[in-house]
C-alpha cells in the first residue's frame, strides 16, 4: 500500500494555475450573466485568485490573457501579485477576436494579417520577459468551413513559419504550450485539430515546445489518458487546460461531468512520477451561473481529490495483477483507490498546513465576497474582451 507520508508529499507538490478570465463575466454562446463583485481590471482578478490560493494552498499562479489583461506596467502587476502571495503564470495569446481574423490569423492568406498576428504573439513573449512567466500558451481558431476555401498544405506551412518565429524569440527558461481543438469555430478543417498535429509541430520546433491538452477539445469517447501517457513518454506534455464536458467544449468545472476521467488522467501523471515535473495544471473554465471564486475553489478541490485517489493506487498490487493477466484484479486495484473517500485526508493535510480544513467554508466566512460587492459596485465589469 502507498505510504501516507508519500501521498501527502505528492499532494503538497501539486500546483494548479487559475485563469484570470474565470473571475470575469464569461459563459455560453447564448448569454453571459453578470454577477455582483466581478473584477473590473487585472488587479482585481489577481486579488480574487489570491483568495483561491489562500484557502486551498494549491493555486499559487494566475494565467493572463492578452489583450484582456493588458496593463501599462506589467512589472507593477507582477509585483502586486507577489505581494498577495501569488505569481503571474502562463501568458495566453488572443488571435481570434479581431475582425481581421475572420479567415484566420497566422494561417490567413493575407500576409499583412499574418504579420499582425505574429506581432501579437511576440508581444506576449515581451510580457513574459517582464512578468517572469515561463509559459506562452498558443491556441488558434484558424481553420476552414468549406472545402476549397483555402489550401490545407499552405496553411500548415504558414503555421509552421509563425511558430518557428515565436520559438526563436523564446528566452532561457521559457517554453511554448501549443493547444489544439477538434472543431469550432472552424467546422470543416481546423489547422491544429488534435494532439498529433500539435505534437508534430512541437517535435519539429524543439525542446521548448510542448503540447497543451484541453480536456474539452476532443471527439466524444476519446481516451484522454492514453494521450497523456503517450505525451509523457515522449517528454512532450507541457500543460493541461482542465475543464469538464458533456457534449463538446462546454468549459464546465473540472471533474463535474466525469470525475472518473479526471482520476484516470491523474493516475497516468502519478504513474509517471510527473506531479512536480513542470507540467502546468491549469483551469480553463467559464463560470456563468455559479459564483466565480467558490467555483474555482471547488475546481481546485476536485483536482486535489482526483490526485489523492491516484496517489493511493497500490502500484505494486496493480503491477502484479497486470503481469499475471488478472484483468478483474487489476481493475479492482484502480477502483479501490477511486472509491476511497479522500476528503478526510485532504482536510487533515490542510490543517497540517495551517489552512482551514474546508476551503469553501473558510471563504464564505472570510467576508471577502461582501466586501468586493460593495467596492466594485461602480465601473465596467471585466469579461470576454476586457
Cα-based torsion angle of the residue sequence 3, 260, 62, 284 in order, rounded to the nearest 10 degrees: 170
Predicted pLDDT of residue 116 = 98
**DSSP one-letter string for 134-179:** -EEEE----EESSTTSS-HHHHHHHHHHHHHHHHHH--TT-EEEEE
State whether CATH 3.40.50.150 applies to domain 4-375. no
Predicted pLDDT of residue 40 = 97
Q: Which residues pair with 237 in a beta bridge?
A: 211
- Residue 27: what are its φ and ψ, rounded to 5°? 180, -140
Predicted pLDDT of residue 2 = 87
Predicted pLDDT of residue 386 = 52
Q: CA distances (Å), 340 to each of 9, 307, 310, in order?
A: 18, 12, 10
Q: Which residues of the chain have pLDDT under 70?
A: 29, 385-386
Sign of the torsion angle spanned by Cα atoms 313, 333, 318, 226:
negative
Residue 315 and residue 273 in contact, taking contact as beta carbons nearer than 8 Å: no
- Residue 62: what are its φ and ψ, rounded to 5°? -125, 125
Predicted pLDDT of residue 383 = 84
Sign of the torsion angle spanned by Cα atoms 211, 246, 26, 304:
negative
Predicted pLDDT of residue 26 = 84
Detail the DSSP E strand segments found in the chain.
16-19, 61-65, 87-92, 135-138, 143-144, 175-179, 189-190, 209-214, 237-242, 280-283
- Residue 48: what are its φ and ψ, rounded to 5°? -65, -40
Predicted pLDDT of residue 372 = 98
| Cα–Cα distance measured from residue 374 to residue 371, given in angstroms and rounded to the nearest whole number | 5
Neighbour-count burial of 298, counting CB atoms closer than 10 A to its CB (0-12 exposed, 13-18 middle, 19+ buried): buried
| Cα–Cα distance measured from residue 223 to residue 373, given in angstroms and rounded to the nearest whole number | 42
Q: What are the cell numbers at 270?
A: 502519478
Amino acid at each position: 500500500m502507498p505510504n501516507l507520508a508519500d501521498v501527502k508529499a505528492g499532494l503538497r507538490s501539486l500546483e494548479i494555475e487559475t485563469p484570470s478570465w474565470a473571475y470575469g463575466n464569461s459563459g455560453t454562446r447564448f448569454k453571459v450573466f453578470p454577477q455582483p463583485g466581478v473584477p473590473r481590471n487585472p488587479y482585481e482578478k489577481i486579488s480574487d485568485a489570491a483568495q483561491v490560493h489562500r484557502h486551498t494552498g494549491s493555486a499559487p499562479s494566475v494565467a493572463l490573457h492578452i489583450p484582456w489583461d493588458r496593463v501599462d506596467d506589467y512589472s507593477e502587476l507582477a509585483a502586486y501579485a507577489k505581494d498577495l502571495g501569488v505569481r503571474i503564470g502562463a501568458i495566453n495569446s488572443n488571435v481570434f477576436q479581431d475582425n481581421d481574423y475572420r479567415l484566420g490569423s497566422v494561417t490567413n492568406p493575407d500576409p499583412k494579417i499574418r504579420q499582425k498576428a505574429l506581432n501579437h504573439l511576440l508581444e506576449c513573449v515581451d510580457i513574459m520577459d517582464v512578468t517572469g512567466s515561463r509559459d506562452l500558451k498558443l491556441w488558434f481558431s484558424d481553420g476552414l468551413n468549406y472545402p476549397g476555401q483555402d489550401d490545407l498544405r499552405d496553411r500548415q506551412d504558414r503555421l509552421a513559419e509563425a511558430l518557428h518565429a515565436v520559438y526563436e524569440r523564446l528566452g532561457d527558461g521559457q517554453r511554448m504550450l501549443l493547444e489544439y481543438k477538434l472543431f469550432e469555430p472552424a467546422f470543416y478543417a481546423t489547422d491544429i485539430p488534435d494532439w498529433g498535429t500539435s505534437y508534430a509541430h512541437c517535435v519539429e520546433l524543439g525542446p521548448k515546445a510542448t503540447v497543451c491538452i484541453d480536456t474539452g477539445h476532443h471527439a466524444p469517447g476519446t481516451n484522454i489518458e492514453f494521450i497523456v501517457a503517450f505525451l509523457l513518454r515522449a517528454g512532450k506534455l507541457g500543460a493541461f487546460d482542465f475543464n469538464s464536458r458533456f457534449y463538446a467544449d462546454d468549459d464546465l468545472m473540472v471533474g463535474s461531468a466525469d470525475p472518473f476521467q479526471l482520476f484516470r488522467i491523474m493516475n497516468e501523471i502519478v504513474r509517471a512520477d510527473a506531479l512536480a515535473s513542470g507540467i502546468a495544471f491549469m483551469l480553463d473554465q467559464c463560470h456563468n451561473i455559479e459564483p466565480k471564486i467558490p467555483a474555482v475553489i471547488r475546481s481546485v478541490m476536485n483536482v486535489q481529490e482526483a490526485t489523492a485517489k491516484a496517489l493511493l493506487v497500490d502500484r505494486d498490487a496493480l503491477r502484479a495483477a497486470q503481469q499475471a493477466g488478472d484483468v478483474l484484479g487489476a481493475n479492482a486495484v484502480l477502483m479501490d483507490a477511486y472509491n476511497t473517500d479522500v476528503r478526510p485526508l485532504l482536510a487533515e493535510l490542510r490543517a497540517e498546513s495551517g489552512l482551514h480544513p474546508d476551503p469553501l467554508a473558510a471563504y464564505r466566512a472570510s467576508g471577502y465576497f461582501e466586501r468586493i460587492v460593495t467596492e466594485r459596485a461602480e465601473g465596467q465589469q471585466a469579461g470576454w474582451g476586457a
